[in-house]
Structure 1
């Protein structure tokens, strides 16, 4: 049966919509001339195929050109990609593949001669529309998917009525409004469902395993390569193949003015207030005044201190001439923090660093033919089987500093083709940096291996009033029996629940922290400062960290990375573990807290502690069931037999035999393999003459029923056998001597 024109036209329309869904992804990033030529060629081939179909009878042999034209249409995007690259106008490989996908759907729709082939075109076009919509950054892209869905529902409803018309022409009479009503209902249902689930899903974590074929690599070498094609060495760099789908910046982007971390904090959090210390403190000596003046100057320059006393932030004006204002691109899990500077000393207003953690020679190691440089204090932990290590990558774009943004507990780093040990070091505050340079070179791609802290380790956190280590129990006098970690969690919960995050709030006193405690409103630097101070009050060593927050909604599915902008500067707190490592806490509401997963053993202990009464009850109940199994199983079998009376005679006989066999099995007298049922049943009741006669009559009835006998089975006789051969009777007859 030939395909109806309606089916063909609707399938072609859906395929065209799938190609249209790719246009917004390509139009603004490729050569306009080559792109329009490619789309024009697709239209020409579509027109040729339609002309051949319509005027086929008049054209004679030309009607055979339909399928060749469809085949040429399918490979047109690939041919244009090859020619464009040869002429110096690269087209993204992935975009060529997506367009070829849509062109294939259109070619199948043109050449299809059966519903099964047409269905293939529908599946391909539907997948392409949904995929293009999901990777688009424009919220309006969803309307293209809704249009495709509307046409598809209309198409399916029409096909359904056509099938019914063919099968039942006299009884099926669809009214005019059935199809439009069905389409409107389906579309409305999908839209309402989308609105209901919108923003209801939790923030996503990075998938541990990709769904695409991998391009090799291990945890240490090209970790992103395991996530799918296109995420290998040049996943973020986009150096080896500039036409790749990775992040490629324009010349304007690369030549724009760069901003320091301090400039970003001034724009986003607010500039530190300038204080005339000399006028405010007339009584102090000149040498002290100079010291205080230098401290303020350092704060203003962002050299080695961080001020909590700040003015309201101004609107950010950096990078107005750029395509993208990202300073760092991150290929890894989102919702985490990238540290750049740390401060451990607080005088009530300013944070400074007094630690001496510098190490200008990281330890060199070769892993999978790649050179890595490790922090000597963390290297051993990175290779222990009990410590989870996560390797992610980052590309520094426009960060005017020698510091390297890095996650918590970064143990090692690797830059492709860099094997000089003096290129990397650890500064006094414990942050990674590149000594001997003015800044990290733009487009530097760094692989970072960071340790993962388990919640089990945090539970052993110990402290005294003076901050010195104490017994492993970690419980403190006056802490109401809470461990140090439990008290720390309580501090974080209080800040995240009872305080309001607002960077536009400025301080009006000389004591920003006291004002913050009073107003309960302020920027993240005040949240971090207060958390650090409260942690010290319970005897824990703390410090604040400045850097960047990788927003969960900043991940670009198409590019495969998250863009970190100047607006993502952030301040948080770190707490020292007993072994010298530092872990982070997030006291500011609106930012995702770090996840410290408990071990399986800890989960089991917690479950047992929380549900030990239920566990005892379950164990007792299971024990009772086992001890009384003969009683309750016997009861279930007896009740089940009562409901067999409506069944046929053979079904009743089989059920009766199964009941007897189950009872015998319960007492350890199951029927031996190969023993006839009559001989086995008679041996069960050999010591009871009356019961043995009932068994023989039961077996005779079974033989007559199964081997062609006629007549109804005596239900009373069956009841006598089923009730007589209960578990108690079977135990009794087996304890007696056979007659």
Structure 2
């Protein structure tokens, strides 16, 4: 019975099922670790590498077992994999500037060890360890991330796990079953596994809270008591940084509970809701708020410090030293906003339509303006839909998420991209808190935006390549509005119109004409915010455009807007903020937006729809965010970046390339020198090992001269053929050939009874190591 059980555990099907379980757990751990940090392409490549390693390792261990290999070899490999996984972390932090918290370092070391154990599943004990270890990996992964893909992987892990249990159990009892019952097929085990998974899900979701909670000290939590960790993830209390957040609101600025704390500043989550008539303790800075559930009020125990800087803050919720109270005086930061997501990003605050030659006037909101704001649920979260109809520019655009956090901005206008679609602020499910500041700019019905509260924005970023085929000037006539093409009656306008017509004289395509105006301003005008024009002698725009050609961005944008209007294109001036990719902070994974990032740009109407506007950036040094790059575009961009880097480090690259080429050309000579030094410093005690390494060294020296021993030629023949080119006695070579034959084919019992002479072997090997060199003989 025991022999049959061992045979069932070591069966090929169970071996591959255990490998599949470990790979599933490894994929789950990789997804939980890379969520919001790495792309899906990186996950796929990493998974393919792990699959290749697992199955190639399985073939290696099966061959090792057939050759009579022992478990001690596997134990050494497991130990090496564990130690190398731990040693890789400091290398990663020093070389690439990235890293993981301590518990994830351990988990990835365990994952790599489990992969090797699964590959070595031809030995029963390693297979069992790998099977149960894969479940442990899955548990750890699900405590840190609970997306739909994680649920699917957990279900797959359960199916595979139950299949492994059922199959191994019934195979262990096969010897005791009737012949008719012994003919089991895989469909029965799969059906039993599916039924077990269904029962588990019913039991799991029948309780009040089906979510698996992480407890500090048991499951990974990134918690800490005494020191900060720059690489800590969204956990309980580790690190001096406020945890960088993208999609999980708990991980941005203060944690999710922080907005509920008491503060004299207006809070979006103020417990005194304006929906109740009963008076309460009113803050001196009263503002609109939303009501909280009663169970949420119990966390209001400490005042929330002004954690203005996203990089340095100790949250009271994360402080686990009750004896030492942290001060509530916040840490100062110059950033007005913090942006998470792709950059460069234009955040609109106000649009201007009328220009009188000196002043731009803000576009007013019409009294009869009607644009509905609706509420929808996305993954059980409330989302405010401000633009439900897809405009013609974004029909093929996918949703893209940015997270904006207000730090010091004193305004109720929501800084957002041009084609804003949806807004999410945690727990905000009332559409009456949102309104329109202008016909394309959303505001909150309160005096100021809430501070330190993540605002999730879903927007579209059209591909400008799709606009070049549009007849922008005539397509917009159906919804043409005079104030978008109005020009002031000043002597400057004929000069601007003449210059614009001169620039686009040989162009018929509308988009090419628009881009020509943009390109002209980027190439011929320099931004300098220290330059100002008082307008006492002539109009500021006249002096800037035709004389100075140096000035602030609002003059560059004004010039471009007037040129486009003179050509008949609906245009408006826009002010807001520019989130530059140059300001991206790698540690916090956010882009700070400061007061110096205030910017002016132009928007031009390129379609018949009311929302068919496109951003034009006439100021040099600024870029417009487009849709995510395709695989081909990313490849081309990577090649260009690599070429640019090589050009800047040409000497280093040439030296490195020359070293690599030299190492490849002289690889045998280099290897022979290294092995010679190694054998001189460390001489193997085992006689057979000394013989084989001496032969290895001699073959490398001869191989370095382009001479390779044919597979069909015996060692004695090859030595006789090469004897005239080696600076060693031919008798010594013949003696070495005899020793090699003895070491390769003599039985192990001959180690002590038929050794040809230990001293003679040592002397022969010493002569080969120290004297045998290739010498070119002239005929």
Shorter-chain TM-score bucket reads: 0.3 to 0.5
State TM-score, norm by structure 2.
0.38
Structure label with greater radius of gyration:
1
